[in-house]
């Protein structure tokens, strides 16, 4: 096999891996992350977990990818370690589906229908249909179907190209003698593990073995240890993924490794022992595409059946080998980089952090308002501590969303990334203005100053209106409630009305000497910061409305024009809510 043959083999492997990646990406888009979300919801039972793991791995054609997804969920605290065990076991079964699809390469050419199902025919046809869908349909779903078909076609083309590239090699007598040596279980397992670890895909390494089987050099005794080694080699991806993750995430990767190692050792001892004692009649049988696919499936199903009853003991083993250690950064665990490969899940995790930021900002707001009437240094320390956490969340989430935006997102996903970036900025700015409120409270306390009863009543009414706006924004984000978000803008308009009126009244009090300059300065500072908090509540709320609105609506195309229309009497519902808020907050102090 010369340099041209090596280059042809590498090219064929690249086509196969790219096809698998393209098809997997398309399937993830088509399901909008629903498969990943199911992992979160349907793992309360070990048997459900196995079935779910098999389904997800079958769809994404990778047990490693499914395990990495599990590591991300465990790292984020969504799944418990015991829940992940069943999914990992099932993933090993689901990943065998690709080999079963590729067994079509072993079909005969007796009739046209069977010939069309062979990879050399089915691959180009599938890819051609896929490129038609991908090129001529603009709608997201049909275009994604085209992407899946292109990936599937490249998968078939790649396996056939590998078979052709390996054909000259398998005819060499030296290679045939070398391959016989792989019947040594230690060498066979080592080779299978090394190749799989190198290309980080047991599916691809099984496909290479299937391509080699076309030459007739692969026997059961050589295929068995190689397939066992491939199961161990695929654990490398999960182990690499767990680096820098939480303790339980590392344990999840260890479950994947221990499961495959224990299964391999058990069946190695049993099968080689039986062959030594009684001689297995199929030991030297020649393998083809179908028999390799069946062996791959049988081995993984048998390992699952063997270890499923001992799932609790498996968890205990990894907990013993990876003991407890220090706590991890809670924000980093939620914004796990492993979710970036599944954008819909990553976006939901980002929404979770945005909501947490909003809750912190709201808590700090109530602390600051309380400080204005009852100053407490401990409460101020808590406020500052939570503000630091808010800044940390903003920085981490901003970087996470920027990374996510570089992945393949549909239009809806791109819009949501943009809206979340705006929302996190709004909540962070609310936090900053709340700190300004606390600084005014500190200045008043240090100088032993206080507002007149009338000024205090006015300020209380304004604070209550801003507080309701904050509550409505968080309810909108928590429940995806567009109506709760819609109620914020009328409140913001009332806040503007109140602050304008209070400024005029306070200037009059300064003129008449009812209020000192020192107190007046702090009062005006408070009005400015409260008004800006209200403005950012409005900005955050309209992003929820933007996400919920139908395509073609004004708020989808131009948010500023939408708000202008509301303010100019374009919505009777808005006018009614404005009147109610005016009656509740402005009229009592007018």
The string of DSSP codes covering 536-577 is HHHHHHHHHHHHHSPTTSHHHH-HHHHHHHHHTT--HHHHHH
Q: Return the top range by mean pLDDT from 138-142, 199-203, 407-411, 422-426.
A: 422-426
Predicted pLDDT of residue 393 = 86
Predicted pLDDT of residue 151 = 81
Predicted pLDDT of residue 146 = 85
pLDDT at residue 328 above 80?
no
Where is 452: in which H helix or E strand? none
pLDDT at residue 130 above 90?
no
Distance CA 243, CA 255 (A): 15
pLDDT at residue 327 above 60?
no
In this prediction, residues 522-539 reach a mean pLDDT of: 91
Give the number of other Cβ atoms within 10 Å of residue 446's Cβ.
9
> Which of 38-42, 96-100, 127-131 shows the lowest mean pLDDT across its residues?
38-42
Spatial CB neighbours of 105, under 8 Å, sequence gap ≥ 6 = 118, 119, 159, 160, 163, 210, 214, 289
pLDDT at residue 41 above 80?
no
Which residue would you say has higher pLDDT here, 173 or 229? 229
Distance CA 408, CA 569 (A): 41
Distance CA 72, CA 463 (A): 41
- For the entire predicted model, the pTM comes to 0.60
What phi and psi values does residue 286 have, to the nearest 5 degrees?
Answer: -75, 135
Predicted pLDDT of residue 363 = 92
Q: For the chain, give every domain's residue range.
A: 3-321, 342-589
Inter-axis angle of helices 247-277 and 185-199, to 10 degrees?
Answer: 150
Predicted pLDDT of residue 133 = 83
- Structure tokens, 408: 């393949």
Predicted pLDDT of residue 157 = 79
Residues of the chain with pLDDT > 70, as a percent, come to 83
- Cα–Cα distances in Å, from 541 out to 492, 537, 555? 11, 6, 12
> Which of 34-43, 139-148, 350-359 shows the lowest mean pLDDT across its residues?
34-43
Read off the pLDDT of residues 256-302 as tens digits, 9 standing for 90 and up: 889 989 999 998 898 888 888 888 888 888 888 888 888 888 988 99
- Cα–Cα distances in Å, from 292 out to 54, 162, 263? 19, 16, 18
- Structure tokens, 461: 């009414």
Predicted pLDDT of residue 26 = 73
Predicted pLDDT of residue 429 = 92
> Which of 111-120, 295-304, 312-321 shows the lowest mean pLDDT across its residues?
111-120
pLDDT at residue 115 above 60?
no
Q: Cα torsion for 79, 82, 86, 87, to the nearest 10°?
A: 20
Distance CA 87, CA 82 (A): 10
Whether the CB-CB separation of 545 and 555 falls below 8 Å is answered with yes
Distance CA 225, CA 214 (A): 19
In this prediction, residues 169-193 reach a mean pLDDT of: 71
pLDDT class of 5 with cuts at 50, 70, 90 = confident
Q: What does pLDDT average to over the chain?
A: 80
Residues of the chain with pLDDT > 90, as a percent, come to 15
pLDDT class of 473 with cuts at 50, 70, 90 = very high
CATH of domain 342-589: 1.20.58.220
Nearest 5 degrees, angle CA 353-CA 359-CA 363? Answer: 145
Predicted pLDDT of residue 62 = 63
pLDDT at residue 220 above 80?
yes
Read off the pLDDT of residues 19-34 as tens digits, 9 standing for 90 and up: 767 776 776 666 555 5
In this prediction, residues 312-323 reach a mean pLDDT of: 86
Spatial CB neighbours of 243, under 8 Å, sequence gap ≥ 6 = none
Read off the pLDDT of residues 479-527 as tens digits, 9 standing for 90 and up: 888 899 999 999 999 999 999 998 888 888 777 777 777 888 888 899 9
Distance CA 379, CA 363 (A): 11
- Cα–Cα distances in Å, from 9 out to 13, 156, 188, 204, 393? 6, 14, 21, 13, 47
pLDDT at residue 40 above 60?
no
Distance CA 29, CA 344 (A): 9
Q: Is 324 left (phi over 0), alpha (psi -120 to 50) or beta?
A: beta
Whether the CB-CB separation of 190 and 252 falls below 8 Å is answered with no
Distance CA 456, CA 257 (A): 65
Distance CA 446, CA 554 (A): 50
What phi and psi values does residue 219 have, to the nearest 5 degrees?
Answer: -110, 170
Read off the pLDDT of residues 234-264 as tens digits, 9 standing for 90 and up: 888 778 767 666 677 788 888 888 998 999 9
Predicted pLDDT of residue 31 = 58
Inter-axis angle of helices 488-512 and 453-479, to 10 degrees?
Answer: 160
pLDDT at residue 468 above 90?
yes
Spatial CB neighbours of 482, under 8 Å, sequence gap ≥ 6 = 476, 544, 545, 548, 549
Spatial CB neighbours of 580, under 8 Å, sequence gap ≥ 6 = 490
pLDDT at residue 361 above 60?
yes
């Amino acid at each position: 096999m010369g340099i041209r043959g090596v280059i042809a083999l590498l090219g064929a492997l690249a086509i196969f891996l790219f096809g698998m990646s393209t098809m997997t990406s398309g399937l993830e888009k088509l399901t909008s992350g629903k498969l990943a979300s199911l992992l979160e919801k349907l793992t309360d039972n070990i048997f459900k977990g196995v079935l779910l793991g098999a389904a997800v791995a079958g769809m994404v054609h990778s047990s490693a990818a499914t395990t990495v997804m599990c590591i991300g969920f465990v790292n984020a605290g969504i799944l418990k370690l015991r829940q992940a065990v069943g999914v990992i076991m099932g993933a090993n079964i689901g990943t065998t589906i690709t080999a079963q699809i590729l067994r079509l390469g072993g079909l005969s050419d007796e009739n046209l229908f069977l010939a069309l199902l062979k990879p050399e025919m089915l691959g180009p046809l599938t890819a051609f249909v896929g490129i038609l869908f991908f090129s001529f349909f603009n709608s997201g779903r049909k275009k994604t179907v085209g992407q899946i078909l292109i990936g599937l076609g490249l998968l078939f083309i790649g396996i056939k190209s590998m078979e052709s590239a390996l054909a000259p090699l398998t005819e060499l007598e030296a290679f045939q003698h070398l391959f016989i040596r792989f019947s040594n279980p230690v060498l066979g397992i080592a080779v299978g593990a090394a190749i799989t670890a190198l290309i980080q895909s047991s599916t691809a390494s099984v496909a290479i073995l299937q391509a080699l089987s076309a030459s007739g050099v692969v026997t059961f005794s050589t295929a068995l240890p190689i397939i066992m080694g491939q199961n161990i080699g695929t654990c490398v991806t999960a182990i690499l993924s767990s680096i820098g993750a939480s303790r339980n995430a590392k344990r999840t990767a260890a479950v994947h490794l221990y499961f495959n190692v224990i299964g391999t050792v058990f069946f190695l001892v049993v099968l080689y022992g039986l062959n030594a004692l009684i001689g297995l009649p199929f030991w030297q049988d020649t393998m083809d595409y179908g028999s390799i696919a069946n062996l791959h499936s049988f081995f993984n199903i048998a390992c699952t059946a063997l270890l499923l009853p001992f799932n609790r003991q498996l968890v205990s083993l990894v907990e013993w080998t990876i003991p407890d250690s220090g706590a991890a950064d809670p924000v980093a665990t939620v914004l796990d980089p492993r979710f970036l490969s599944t954008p819909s899940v990553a976006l939901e995790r980002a929404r979770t952090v945005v909501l947490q930021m909003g809750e912190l900002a709201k808590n700090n707001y109530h602390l600051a308002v309380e400080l204005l009437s009852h100053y407490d240094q401990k409460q101020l320390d808590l406020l500052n501590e939570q503000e630091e956490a808010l800044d940390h969340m903003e920085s981490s989430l901003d970087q996470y969303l920027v990374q996510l935006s570089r992945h393949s997102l549909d239009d809806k996903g791109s819009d949501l990334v943009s809206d979340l970036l705006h929302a996190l900025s709004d909540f962070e700015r609310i936090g900053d203005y709340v700190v300004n409120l606390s600084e005014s409270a500190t200045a008043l306390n240090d100088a032993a100053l206080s507002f007149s009863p009338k000024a205090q009543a006015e300020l209380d009414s304004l604070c209550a209106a801003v507080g309701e706006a904050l509550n409505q924004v968080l309810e909108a984000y928590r429940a995806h409630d567009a109506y709760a978000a819609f109620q914020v803008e009328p409140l913001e308009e009332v806040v503007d009305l109140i602050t304008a009126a209070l400024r005029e009244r306070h200037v009059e009090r300064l003129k008449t000497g009812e209020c000192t300059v020192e107190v007046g300065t702090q009062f005006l500072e408070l009005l400015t910061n409260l008004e800006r908090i209200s403005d950012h509540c409005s900005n955050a709320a309209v992003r929820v409305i933007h996400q919920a609105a139908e395509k073609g609506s004004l708020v989808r195309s131009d948010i500023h024009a939408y708000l202008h229309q509301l303010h100019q009497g374009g919505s009777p519902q808005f006018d009614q809510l404005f009147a109610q808020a005016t009656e509740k907050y402005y009229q009592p102090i007018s």
